[in-house]
Every structure is written in C-alpha cells, then in structure tokens.
Structure 1
C-alpha cells in the first residue's frame, strides 16, 4: 500500500518550470512584496508627515513597527507552518495581508497607520517562511530547484532595488495610500496562483511534535529585541541607555531560548541541525549578504545626493547597475553552479561580493564609475550566493522542518542587515555629530562623511569576510561528506 502511495504522489513533482508556472509566479510575487514593502513606503514618509501631522517618532514607528514584527515572528510562524501546513499558512497569511493593506484607506491618524503597519508585518511574517518551502516542494531535480529559486530571488532583489523609484513615480500622480493598496491585487494574484498551482499539504510530511510555545515566545522576543537594539543605536546613539537595555534584554532572551530548546523534549528548532555543514554554511552566507548590503543600501544614495548633488531621480538611476546585473545573471546562475559545483560557485560569488564592497569602500568617493563597478560586483555575487544558500539550506533540513529552515535563513539576513545598519549609522553619526542634510555644505563636511563611509564599509567588509571564510569551510566539509 505504501509503495502505491509513493507512485501516485511522484508525478506531482514537476519536470520543468513551465509545468508549474502559476506556482512560481505566485511565490515570486510573494517574495517581491516582502522585499518592496518597507522600501516603497519610505519615499512617502515626508508626505505622510504632512498629511497626518506625524512626528519624527511616529514616522520611525511606521517603518520600525513593520520590520520588528516581520523579522521577529518569522521563525515562530515557520514552526507553526511545519506543523499545520505550509500552504495553508501561506494562504491564510496572504488573505490577512490583503485585508491589512486595504485598512490603510480608513487611516486618519499616525497611531492608526502604525497599527496597520504592525498588522502588515505580522501577516507578512506568516507568508515569508513558505516561499522557499513551497518552491522546494515542487521539484525533485536539483537543477530545476536551483532555476526556480534563482528566478524567485531575482524578482525580489530587483524589486527591492527599483522599489523607491517606483514609489516616487506613483507619488507624483496618486495619493500615498496607493503604495499599500496596490499590494491587495498582488496578494489576490498570489492566492490564486498558490491555491491552484501547488498541491495541498500532505499530513504525512508535517512535523508531528507539539509546538513549543515558550520556545516560540522566547525566540520571538530575542529577534525583536535584537532588531530593536539596532534601530535604537541608529536613532538615538550608543550614548543613550535605551539601546544598551534593549541589547541586554536580547542577550538574556537568547540565553533563555537556548536553555529552553536544549532541555525541552520537543524543541521548536533542533539545534543539532545547525551542526549540519550545509545548514550552517548557508545561514552564514545569508548573514554576510545582509551585513554588506546594509552599508551599500544606506550610503550610496546619500553619497550621490548629499555629496554630489544628484536629484532623487538621478540617484535612482545610479542604482541601475545592480538591477541590470541581477537580470543579466539570471540565465547563467544554474550553468555556473553546474560547471563549478555548489561549493566553488558559492566561494567565487562571495568573493565577487567582497570585492565589490572593498572597491566601494576604498574608491567609491573617487567617482561614479567606481560605485557602478561596486554595485555590479556585489549584485553578481549576491545573485549567486543567495540562490545557492536558499537551495542548500532547504536540502540540508528534514522535510518536516523546511518552513522554519526558510524562516531562519530570512531571519539571519534580516538581523545581520539591522546590525549592518547599526554599525554604519553609528560610525557616520559619530563622525558628523550633526545632521546629514548639511553634509554637502562644506568640503570639510564632505571629507568627514566620506571617511566615515569608508570606515563603516571596511569594518563591515571585514565582518563579511570572516563569515564567508567560515561558511566556505563548512561548505567544503559538506561537499566532502556528500562525496
């Protein structure tokens, strides 16, 4: 009987991307919305401040509220999805996500908008772990999984790069609420694609262990406090008590989480899985990408506009090398990995990423050509590494823990990105000691800003290099074990 069941289920695995294109489309747009949501709304903050009479603190919570809940809840929802159905969680999350975005039409105060953004963050966290987990469910063949993952990652990364430009163009002709309302038809499209394009959850492949609620709570508190510490460090500086208190709380919560997970009979996540080289290497690669992209994403636009006097539209066009390279690399990632192998391709991709960071830190101030080269190299490296890490971490986990594995991958990049922002913001703020707006007023201000950017970039490049070297060694061990 069991043999018959396997033979019936096997054809559900696709033999090509075209055979499951609705599912790939649905997962791609889900990932796109996750990448776009905060970056698109950021361009509307001045307009929101005027129309809702929002204070600086309220504006910070409009963005931070989403980020904290989105990053903090992914692991918990990943664990829930593994137990109750990844596809079911994705469909529920998308439905609530659409309703939460639609609620912006009834917003009239900053507090109401903060509540809406918090709800959007929660619902986005419900959908995030399922993107890679459901993609993993579609294919048996490694090359098809690599190709599908590459496509989904490209859509998200390109969307993140062009998001502010798209948001700015929309604001020229439509009210700011449009930036959230436009997520509704996207969510409806994703619901239809996933509902009809991906098979229903198979109860036989669910995680049967009870959900560790105390562990889920401690894990969520740890991530939220870690993200909040980074946010406070940028906004208030380390001279204030708030970031130190939040950081201490994050450490205590993390210790309690580890102790709980090691002692309970049914941990939310088995830490023994982190000993698997493929899993730990992938998470380290993801963290390195988060650190590096934080400094480039934060400082390139400031350099172009505040120092060189470019308009916002020109600065947006200045980021095009990233978009062009990500799109151009698409057809070649799979061939690149097939020819070199996962380990060597990951090392070369990470080396390209590091070289781009180094060029930006040392030569970025010399002219736009160097920034364009840096953007192209980091984009090429990120395109390769993100695809490999996404596939490898899923292959390294049991099938009943793929959702929480995907959540850990996303969370590692999210937390690392916040750490990168905190490091960059702290160094720049300490060097300037004043407002960023006045950077370009005097040669001394420009020189100080550029020195701070160089320092921040080199510090984060060194941290990225450490993570990448460690990840490469773990990846080599994984390759040896497989051989």
Structure 2
C-alpha cells in the first residue's frame, strides 16, 4: 500500500501520526525556520551595530536600543502571547506573527533614522513573542512516539544553535560586500519559509486542546509595562539634562506597575503566572541559572562588538573572524555535551556550565582591553558554558512543574533569558553613555576618551559578571533546598528529566553532523 497523499507531501492532517521523521519534513522545515530566526537575528545584528551607528548617526543610547528594543518586546510579551495561543490556537498566532515578521523585515529597506530602526526592532520582538511560545508545542504535537518527538525537537534546536553560532561570522562577511539592511531583510525569506512550512505542514489546533478560561490581559499589560519601564528608565535618568521630575515619575509608575502585576497574579481567577509554582526550588533554581547565562551571553556579545570595532577599530570582516573560535566550540563540542551531563549529573552540569559563562564575562571585564588573547578566552568559556546551560536549566524548571504546566515553564525559561539579556545590554549601554561624552559613532577618539571608553567596557563586564555570579549562587542554593525526588503517585503529574537528557544527547549527535 502506498503512503497517503498527505504524508507523502509532508502534510499532516489532524489526527495523523507519521511513522517517520521524514514524513513531517514540511512542518519541521517551517518550525526550524522559526528557531533559526530567533537565534540568528540577535547574533547577526551585534556585529553590524557599529556600521549601523555610523550610517544612521546614532547616539550611544540609540545604538543600545537598536539591540535592546527587540529583547524588551520579546521578553515582555512572550508570556502574554503564550497564554493567547493556548486559547485561540498556537498555529494561528504563529502564522500571524510570521506575517508581522516579514512585514517588519521589509520595512528595514525604508529605514533612514535610528528611531525608525528601533521601531522596526520592536515589531520584530513582538513577532518573535508570537512565534516562539508555540513552536516547541507544535513540534511535540506532530508525533505520538516519544523517540520521534525527541528527534524532532533536536532537529529544530539544532537549526537555532547553528544560527546562533554562525550569525556573527556571516554578518561580518556580508557587511564587506553589502549594506547592513541586507542582514535584516534576510528575515523575510526565513519568515516566508516558516509560514509555508507551518501553513502546509501543521494541522489546525483541535478545539478540545484549547483552554477556555479567559486571558489575564490586565496582568499581561501590567507585567509588560513594568518590564519595559524598568529597562527604559535608567537610560532616561542618565541622559544629559533628562534626570528631571518626569524621569522620577517614570520610576514611580514602573514600581506601581510591578506591584500591581504581583497583586493581580495573586488575586486573579486565571493568572498569567501561577506565582506559587515559581517558588518551587527546582523551578526558581533553573530560572536563576538561565537568567545568569542569558545576562552573561548577551552582555559579552555586546561588549565584544564595542571593543573590537570601536576601541580597536577592527573592520566588520576582521571582527567576524575574531568570533570564529566561539563558532568552533559551539559546533564541535556537541559530542561532549551528552556524556558530560550524564557523567556529572544535571545539578553539577548546571552550575559548572553557568560558572564557565560567568567566568568568561569576568575575564573580558578584567583583561579584555589588554589584547585579543583575553577576548578569545572569554569567548571560549562562554561558548562552552552556554552549550550546556540552556538545556539543563530548562530541564530543572520542567522537572519541578506539573506536566500540564510545562508549556508555561518553557515560556518562563525563554523569558528569563531574554529579559536578562535585555538588562545586560541596557546596563552596559547606560554605563558607556554615562562615562563617555558624545556619541561613540561620530566623535573623534582622543586618548582620554578612549581610556574612558575602555574603563566603561571593563567596568560593565565586571559588574554584569558580579550580578550573574549572584544569580548562579542563588540558583545553586535554591536547587539544593529541593527535597529528594520520590516517585509520584500519579506518573503524569510531574515532568521527567529523561526526555530532556535524551534530547540533550541527540542534540549533541545531530549538531556534530551539522
């Protein structure tokens, strides 16, 4: 008997369960494109920041927000759109988000000012918040067999990892032959590939699988306002002549929104976040470690870009070559990840990998100004640590949650990383803006000004490393307070780390062949 037309075309109808991974190739291609965009977008943009700043005449603060606006919108709205997707359909929300992403990418061609580019980056962050929460859930839904589910998640994760690894290098070489707009216009074909793959390869959500309780829109808006305000206000307060009554009024509003969000989540009939779940030791431990890693990775990426291209005057191509060791570690280290985690255990793997990421940022802060060799050490340490920490931190969170809350847990892990990354960029940019007079993209580099710039970069690196270290220590302490695991009376009530460990090993194997 020949396979059904739907399977042979890679299209799955509701209720289909393909016997092979290749039978869902259309859907997997679309979902992989979503993760490729998420990881490639930020990494490819960082190497282009100096070129963008010079072309648009950006101020130090403006350049900071070209990078940070995306993370603020992404991290601030992810939980809200995840809740919306659970109610009206993950596939539907993802398709709308991909259309928005393609439109925002096309809008890049018309950008002529820093403010316009920041607006485009906000739209891209909104699109990412709409597409990311449901992507893993859609991949999981494609198959009934656990082994196929693990392999599907592995394929999709590998696409994102490759994008994260090669983004800076590809971006640097593209800038040698094309304008920077090309880097963001590349999001358009990626979005179209994802749109076609998901539209043709993923069945519509079954009504029975959707939640019926209302979305906590008020809580979502309060949380988003608190997050965005907390990231914007420091920039406003340190700006020349702007630390006025309006700035301090903004502080009051942000605090009020934060308090209002907590109160809303404690009293709402259907809260966006079930706060008692966050208090569980494994959950809070995993989120703290993931936040530390996200802060260190984003902070180092931003600071290295400023160091190589502004302080040392490297062209984008040479800066791209300078990031190649990180690519090598990320891709070539795949075979070592699974055995390492299985040998030392999830708990030790989490803090060892997080400590490596923090150490890399500290090395850059203390010694990065003294030569590329120290930058190289920092890049290798961070790459080695981030190769592991994401999965083990995520596993900790999912293990500590009931099985019916694991989608929320996955969104929380991504949110912790994105928001921590946004904090890192905003903090570093704010320190540089406060320490260096004039715009770093336009002013002449005198010796005193360069020394102040180097001091700002080093101080930012050490400060972020200290914050990340505190998060790691808090995560370790919190994780050790977890009671010993006991078999649950109902095996469906607690998520198991077995799937994550299997996926980690499979990811290592898949990446080694990428």
For the criterion TM > 0.5, the same-fold answer is yes
Deviations 1:33-85 (A, max 9, x none): 12333554566678878999999998777666544433322121011112222
Change (3 A) 1:20 1:63: same
Q: Hey, what does 1:305 align to over in structure 2?
A: 309
The reply on whether 1:456 has 2:460 as its aligned counterpart is: yes
Contact kept in structure 2, 1:234 and 1:422, CA below 8 Å:
no
**C-alpha deviation, 1:18, in angstroms:** 6.2
Change (3 A) 1:42 1:310: closer
**C-alpha deviation, 1:211, in angstroms:** 1.5
CA distance in 1, matches of 2:365, 2:206: 49
Contact kept in structure 2, 1:307 and 1:439, CA below 8 Å:
no
Which of 428, 442, 446 is the aligned partner of 1:441? 446
CA distance in 2, matches of 1:341, 1:479: 17
Q: Hey, what does 2:419 align to over in structure 1?
A: 415
CA distance in 1, matches of 2:180, 2:113: 14
CA distance in 2, matches of 1:146, 1:345: 21
Q: Under a length normalisation based on structure 1, what TM-score does the superposition of the two structures give?
A: 0.82
Partner of 2:333, secondary structure, is helix
Map residues 50-449 of structure 1 onto 2, 5 A cutoff.
Answer: 66-104=70-108, 116-137=120-141, 152-153=156-157, 155-156=159-160, 158-160=162-164, 162-174=166-178, 177-195=181-199, 197-198=201-202, 200-232=204-236, 239=243, 244-398=248-402, 400-436=404-440, 441-442=446-447, 444-449=448-453
CA distance in 2, matches of 1:395, 1:25: 29
**C-alpha deviation, 1:432, in angstroms:** 3.7
CA distance in 1, matches of 2:59, 2:348: 50
Partner of 1:481, secondary structure, is coil
**C-alpha deviation, 1:434, in angstroms:** 4.8
As a proportion of its length, which structure holds more helix?
1
**C-alpha deviation, 1:270, in angstroms:** 1.1
**C-alpha deviation, 1:98, in angstroms:** 2.4
Q: Under a length normalisation based on structure 2, what TM-score does the superposition of the two structures give?
A: 0.77
**C-alpha deviation, 1:465, in angstroms:** 1.4
Contact kept in structure 2, 1:207 and 1:400, CA below 8 Å:
no
Contact kept in structure 1, 2:265 and 2:273, CA below 8 Å:
yes
Deviations 1:294-319 (A, max 9, x none): 33122223222333343222122111
CA distance in 2, matches of 1:155, 1:163: 12
Change (3 A) 1:380 1:143: farther
**C-alpha deviation, 1:450, in angstroms:** 3.5
Deviations 1:157-215 (A, max 9, x none): 55345435534544555555543443222122223433455554344443332212211
Q: Which runs of 5 or more structure 2 residues have no equivalent in the other structure? A: 1-13, 488-514
**C-alpha deviation, 1:346, in angstroms:** 1.0
**C-alpha deviation, 1:253, in angstroms:** 0.5
Contact kept in structure 1, 2:292 and 2:358, CA below 8 Å:
no
CA distance in 2, matches of 1:89, 1:405: 19
CA distance in 2, matches of 1:370, 1:109: 35
Q: CA RMSD in A?
A: 3.9
Change (3 A) 1:13 1:250: farther
CA distance in 2, matches of 1:274, 1:380: 28
CA distance in 1, matches of 2:242, 2:475: 30
Change (3 A) 1:472 1:24: farther
My pick for the range that moved more, 31-40 or 328-337, is 31-40
Partner of 2:484, secondary structure, is helix
CA distance in 2, matches of 1:372, 1:114: 31
**C-alpha deviation, 1:31, in angstroms:** 2.1
Contact kept in structure 2, 1:29 and 1:155, CA below 8 Å:
yes
My pick for the range that moved more, 252-261 or 447-456, is 447-456
Q: Which runs of 5 or more structure 1 residues have no equivalent in the other structure? A: 1-8
Change (3 A) 1:398 1:88: farther
